[in-house]
């Protein structure tokens, strides 16, 4: 039976074009519905593809999407922080191309029972891996201190009405704990003054984004992904990362620049004495964004930023 998985891969042509011409071994760190992986295997039909996703439903959908490549795919349910164990299970492969298309799939957003969206009523959950993650968004909202909630909404949501929203959460949860996405979305909609609400932009967007990032520890996960992947590239191998959030894009940009130029010498020194060697080259000086045609066909692609790093020829 064909599995339904609602997701259109963003920047798909660009992702395939950035793969090295002689790609033989691929790692997809965010399989989702398997869309990017399938495109890559169509271009490199002899390649071995290794892939992970922390969401069991995504993993099943990807396995189904890639069923014609059974002999050459190795898929595991895992988060970025579990990559070292995956590498060990797979026999420590090195990759020509590593891809991460981070964030949520449209499928995760569209399912009310996953609790990611203010568009549908469902349990306030937001866990990408509900079988192995304990902390739900409801638990965060109902049990975190005022300080913790403020930090989440300000740092991860860049929500200017964080204080108002948090004050209201503290009052409301005393009367009745938050259980559903609608309860939270309605409360945020009532708290943000009408004149600051933008047409076509749900007032709860930033609150939901912040909670989702916190529940899934997404910034730490990205930090681990960056730490674990570079050393797994073959010489001249490439790491491509698509992010949808300015905090994540900034992390990727800074890490790529640091790998390219790790020198820590004072800028007024005429030559380098720190001995830090470049680990490769940033291929995309600016992030690659979706074309007007793609954003018209898939509005979700509007905020996608793709950055690519190439490891040096003599990478160990
Ligand atoms: C945007 S979707 C990927 C879509 C996929 N590229 C495609 O073409 O179908 C992102 C996927 O990454 C997964 N994901 C997000 N953070 C993750 C993490 N830290 N570890 C593993 N998977 C993660 C999500 O569960 C989701 O399925």
Q: How far apart are the first and last CA of the chain?
A: 45
Q: Using CA atoms in the order 54, 55, 60, 66, what is the torsion angle rounded to 10 degrees?
A: -50
**Is there a single domain that holds both residue 190 and residue 227?**
no
Signed CA dihedral, 151, 157, 163, 164: sign only: negative
Q: What is the CATH number of the domain that holds 73?
A: 3.40.50.150
Q: Which residue has the tokens 């309605």?
A: 186
Chosen domain end from 161, 195, 215:
215
Q: Is residue 5 part of a domain?
A: no
User: Taking 60 as the threshold, does the pLDDT of residue 252 lie above it?
Assistant: yes
Q: Is residue 122 part of a domain?
A: no
pTM over 0.75: yes
Give the whole-angstrom CA distance, residue 243 versus residue 252.
8
Query: Does residue 221's CB lie within 6 angstroms of at least one atom of ligand 1?
Result: yes
CB atoms within 10 A of CB 251: 18
**Is there a single domain that holds both residue 161 and residue 176?**
yes
Question: What is the atom index within ligand 1 of the atom nearest the CA of 244?
Answer: 1
What are 85-102's pLDDT values in tens digits? Answer: 999 999 999 999 999 999
Query: Does residue 230's CB lie within 6 angstroms of at least one atom of ligand 1?
Result: no
Query: Does residue 79's CB lie within 6 angstroms of at least one atom of ligand 1?
Result: yes
Residue 92 zone, left/alpha/beta (φ > 0; ψ -120 to 50; rest): left
How many domains does one find in the chain? 2
Rounded mean pLDDT, 221-240: 97
Query: Does residue 62's CB lie within 6 angstroms of at least one atom of ligand 1?
Result: no
**Is there a single domain that holds both residue 191 and residue 234?**
no
Q: Which residue has the tokens 């992390």?
A: 251
User: Taking 90 as the threshold, does the pLDDT of residue 313 lie above it?
Assistant: no
Question: Worst-scoring range by mean pLDDT, 165-174, 232-241, 307-316?
Answer: 307-316
């Amino acid at each position: 039976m064909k599995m339904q998985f609602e997701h259109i891969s963003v920047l798909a042509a660009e992702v395939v074009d950035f793969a090295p011409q002689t790609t033989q071994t691929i790692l997809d760190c965010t399989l989702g519905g398997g869309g990017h992986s399938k495109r890559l295997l169509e271009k490199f039909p002899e390649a071995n593809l290794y892939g992970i996703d922390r969401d069991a439903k995504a993993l099943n959908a990807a396995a189904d999407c890639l069923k014609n490549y059974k002999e050459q795919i190795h898929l595991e349910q895992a988060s970025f922080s579990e990559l070292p164990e995956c590498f060990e299970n797979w026999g420590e492969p090195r990759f020509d191309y590593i891809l991460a298309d981070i964030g949520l799939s449209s499928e995760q957003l569209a399912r009310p029972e996953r609790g990611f969206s203010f568009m549908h009523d469902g349990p306030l959950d937001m866990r990408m891996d509900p079988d192995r993650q304990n902390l739900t968004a409801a638990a965060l909202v109902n049990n975190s201190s005022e300080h913790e909630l403020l930090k989440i909404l300000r740092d991860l949501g860049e929500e200017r009405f964080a204080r108002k929203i948090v004050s209201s959460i503290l009052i409301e949860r005393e009367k009745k704990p938050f259980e559903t996405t609608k309860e939270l979305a309605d409360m945020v909609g009532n708290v943000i003054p009408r004149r600051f609400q933008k047409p076509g932009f749900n007032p709860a967007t930033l609150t939901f984004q912040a909670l989702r990032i916190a529940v899934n520890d997404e910034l730490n996960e990205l930090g681990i992904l960056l730490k674990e992947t570079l050393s797994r590239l073959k010489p001249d191998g490439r790491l491509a990362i698509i992010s949808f959030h300015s905090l994540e894009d900034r992390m990727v940009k800074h890490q790529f620049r640091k790998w390219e130029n790790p020198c820590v010498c004072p800028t007024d020194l005429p030559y380098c004495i720190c001995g830090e060697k470049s680990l490769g080259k940033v291929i995309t000086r600016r992030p690659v964004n979706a074309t007007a045609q793609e954003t018209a066909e898939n509005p979700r692609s509007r905020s996608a930023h793709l950055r690519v790093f190439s490891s040096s020829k003599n990478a160990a």
